[in-house]
Chain A
Amino acid sequence: MEVAGEVLASESQLHVLAVDDSHVDRKVIEKLLKISSCKVTTVESGARALQFLGLDEEKGSLGFNGLKVNLIMTDYSMPGMTGYELLKKIKRSSAFREIPVVIMSSENILTRIDSCLEEGAEEFLVKPVKLSDVKRVMNDCIMRGETEGNNRRRVDKRKFEDDNHASSSSSSSSSIPSSPSSPLPSSPSTAATSSPLHSLKRAKLRDDN
């Protein structure tokens, strides 16, 4: 249903704001999102992202073209404002804290992942981002939309490639253990008891190839 001046999220038309300083990565994420039936806006920095959201003027989450942003996907390592700093600004803003934020990073550093999740990131994706990652994020967003009242926070960690192995396969056999000790805001028993989630992800990774 559309209201004048504001397009509400329908299941097939999430509006995603993608933030990445790499031109190549912006192009790839844009394609991945478009193929997943999303409207996409790409910007090259955290500052531009905040500008687009209108955060600096507290106008609300309507971007320049009047589209509400349903999801933000941001690179972690960016010059100027990092994705982590952008995440914090968004989560500390009354207007935008409800927008799910996904962090993307080429580095699978556990403390980094934990800090992002603690600050309220929905997910932490390890680059290079694949279509299966985007699809999973989309599903999670839709599910999240349906269960908004529950205020659940899901701790999703995926398997990572070891940076030091020149491996050509996309799935490695090591998995990062979930960290039940990291204090997450406002969540009841965290899905760090995510064994059903883990096995779901393993199944998905097997399907990837």
Chain B
Amino acid sequence: MEVGQMQRRLVDYTKSLFMEGFLDAQFLQLQQLQDESNPDFVVEVVSLFFDDSEKLLNDLTMALDQPSVDFKKVDAHVHQLKGSSSSIGAQRVKNACIAFRSFCEEQNIDATLRCLQQVKQEYYLVKNKLETMLRLEQQIVAAGGSIPMIELGF
């Protein structure tokens, strides 16, 4: 596949992520912060997000698995996950966290377990999509092309 084709594929793919709500304007903000002095900025932030999230999801799984659930602790973890997903623009993860927190307030064990599943699902979805997108970018750069800037009318 030649560079132009790859670039078009990347643009279409990225746009679909915005259209489907996986990513929001904050992600665009991060892309705009990337420059020649730090060409891996987005990859680095996204990797941090993956590391943080996986740890938080493990902590959440354990916390909800306790005989007596400490909802304050659960809420604290969800709050952190909400924060980092919001900071990178992972909109659906963030929204799932918002719902999760309201059930934490109610101390509803069944609902919070369902929320955990929901958050995990959204996380793995966006992780997959971001990895695909970043891989496409890598291929373009490896072929000597540049990464097109996405213009979206928000």
- A residues with CB within 8 A of B: 21-25, 27-28, 31-32, 35, 77, 79, 106, 127-128, 130-131, 163-164, 166, 168-170, 209
Does B45 count as interface, using CB distance less than 8 angstroms?
yes
Question: Smallest CB-CB separation from B38: which chain A residue?
Answer: A31
Q: State whether A28 touches B87 (Cβ < 8 A).
A: yes
Q: State whether A130 touches B29 (Cβ < 8 A).
A: yes
Surface stretch bound by A, among B6-14, B57-65, B76-84: B76-84
| Chain B residues with CB under 8 A of A22 | 52, 80, 83-84, 87
- B residues with CB within 8 A of A: 18, 21, 24-26, 29-30, 32-33, 35, 38, 41, 44-45, 48-49, 51-52, 76, 79-80, 82-84, 86-89, 91, 95, 98, 154
| Chain A residues with CB under 8 A of B32 | 131
In whole angstroms, what is the CA distance A19 to B18 when docked?
Answer: 30
Asked if A166 meets B48 with Cβ closer than 8 Å, knowing A77-B79, A131-B29, A131-B33, the reply is no
25 A-B pairs within 8 Å (CB atoms) are namely: A21-B80, A22-B52, A24-B49, A24-B88, A28-B33, A28-B45, A31-B38, A32-B33, A77-B79, A106-B82, A106-B86, A127-B86, A128-B86, A128-B89, A130-B29, A166-B21, A166-B91, A168-B18, A168-B21, A168-B24, A168-B25, A168-B91, A168-B154, A169-B154, A209-B154
In whole angstroms, what is the CA distance A170 to B18 when docked?
Answer: 13
B-side interface mostly: helix
| Chain B residues with CB under 8 A of A28 | 30, 33, 45, 87-88
B38 CB → nearest A CB, Å? 7
| Chain B residues with CB under 8 A of A32 | 33
B98 CB → nearest A CB, Å? 6
User: 5 closest A-B pairs (Cβ-Cβ)?
Assistant: A24-B84, A168-B24, A128-B26, A166-B95, A170-B25
| Chain A residues with CB under 8 A of B91 | 166, 168
Q: State whether A127 touches B30 (Cβ < 8 A).
A: no
Q: State whether B154 touches A24 (Cβ < 8 A).
A: no
| Chain A residues with CB under 8 A of B89 | 128
Asked if A24 meets B45 with Cβ closer than 8 Å, knowing A35-B33, A166-B21, A209-B154, the reply is yes
In whole angstroms, what is the CA distance A77 to B77 when docked?
Answer: 12
20 further contact pairs, Cβ within 8 A, besides A28-B87, A166-B95: A22-B52, A23-B51, A24-B48, A24-B49, A24-B88, A25-B87, A27-B44, A31-B38, A31-B41, A32-B33, A79-B76, A106-B79, A106-B82, A106-B86, A128-B87, A166-B91, A168-B21, A168-B25, A168-B154, A169-B25
Q: State whether B45 touches A27 (Cβ < 8 A).
A: yes
Name the one of B84, B95, B154 contacting A25, with C-beta atoms under 8 angstroms: B84
B27 CB → nearest A CB, Å? 10
